[in-house]
A = this chain, B = another copy of it.
């Protein structure tokens, strides 16, 4: 089995703010919650251990509660990163830190709470490499030249950039190897070291396999990185819209025309289905994290259909991460000239929208009279 440890004990000095960066809100949600969610989405990860400093344990538990995180255990960290990771690992091996000892995994992933955008693909590659080599870690090309300074503050030498790499996260290890390394290593390592791959090499003679990672693995370090994370999330949220109509011909046609006119600006999926049936195409779209839906109907009050979509979305856990926008369009193509929606219907829709908003699903109603 595979489990994950997320050290989240840092103080975030480099960010220049009072709140440690892993607890800074990005689009209203703490950064650590994105990292937890990224791990949680990977079904083959059993346990997720989040290691936080003593003063943040309650904060972390509140976050887990609020965002409905599952499979997460909160562990008290040490005064350095290595000590925190060691504490996280102990949960699988010693009774000291947890009332119930968690099942010892074959492979343990170590990831940062401040790297919110890790994809299953790279996690999987790193885990496979760790199974084969005992240890593995994501790397990236260096952005700047690395130099060594002499005692007088002058340049001693510079490293040839092409020969070196930046060590990033995630990393993964055979549990027995990294746990052994932490047990063997010195206080100096625990207090001043920063690199888990180094411990595996030094104490277990395990040369980690290095895996090229993607640019989005970067670590949120400075305030500008929070800005960047926010923009990336916004970008993702507005990338796709799904237009849903019934199978009725006139409506399907409207759905087609709508998607044609939208597709120059956004990725559009148009589907004609009966919402009461559990449609696998729609399920797929939802699981690919579509956050925007337009539902076109000719029914007088489409609460029931909308409710079915809301139920599907809720079950998918998608709204846990970000608000879902759902526009319910009532298309009135009857010859009748008068408004076919009364105050009563309006009240019903408003009440419905208030309820779904609590579930992070924003429902908007739109009435179009077409003649």
Contacts and interface: CB of A to CB of B under 8 A. Distances in A.
A88 to B, nearest CB: 19
A44 interface: no
Interface in A105-141: 133, 135, 137, 139-140
Interface string A243-268: 00000000000000000000000000
A146 B271 CA distance: 49
A238 to B, nearest CB: 14
Contact of A215 (B14, B149, B194): B14
Contact of A154 (B157, B167, B208, B229): B208
Interface in A145-184: 145-150, 153-159, 161-168
Interface stretch (A94-102, A217-225, A272-280, A320-328): A217-225
A337 interface: no
| Size class of the A contact interface (CB-based, 8 Å) | 35 or more
A201 interface: yes
A207 interface: yes
A167 B146 contact: yes
A12 to B, nearest CB: 13
Interface in A201-218: 201, 207-210, 215-216, 218
Contacts of A146: 142, 146, 159, 164-167
Contacts of A149: 139, 165, 210
A33 B145 CA distance: 25
A168 B192 contact: no
A145 B215 contact: no
Contacts of A147: 139, 164-167, 195, 197, 210
Nearest to A157: B201
Interface string A286-326: 00000000000000000000000000000000000000000
For A137, A144, A221, which residue has the most chain B Cβ atoms within 10 angstroms?
Answer: A144
Contacts of A201: 155, 157-158
A207 B151 CA distance: 12
A133 B149 CA distance: 14
A14 B141 CA distance: 10
A168 B135 CA distance: 32
Given A147-B167, A219-B143, A154 B209 contact: yes
Given A231-B224, A232-B224, A207 B165 contact: no
A167 B148 contact: no
A228 interface: yes
B161 A148 contact: no
A224 B228 contact: yes
Nearest to A225: B228
B210 A154 contact: yes
Given A139-B147, A143-B221, A232-B227, A210 B153 contact: yes
Contacts of A139: 147, 149
A216 B14 CA distance: 12
Contacts of A209: 153-155
Contacts of A210: 147, 149, 153-155
24 contacts: A14-B215, A142-B146, A143-B221, A144-B166, A144-B168, A145-B195, A146-B146, A146-B165, A146-B167, A147-B167, A147-B210, A148-B163, A149-B165, A149-B210, A153-B210, A154-B209, A154-B210, A155-B201, A155-B207, A218-B222, A224-B225, A224-B232, A228-B231, A230-B231
For the complex of A and B, the 7 pairs showing the least CB-CB separation, nearest first, are A227-B231, A224-B228, A144-B166, A154-B207, A228-B228, A145-B167, A145-B195
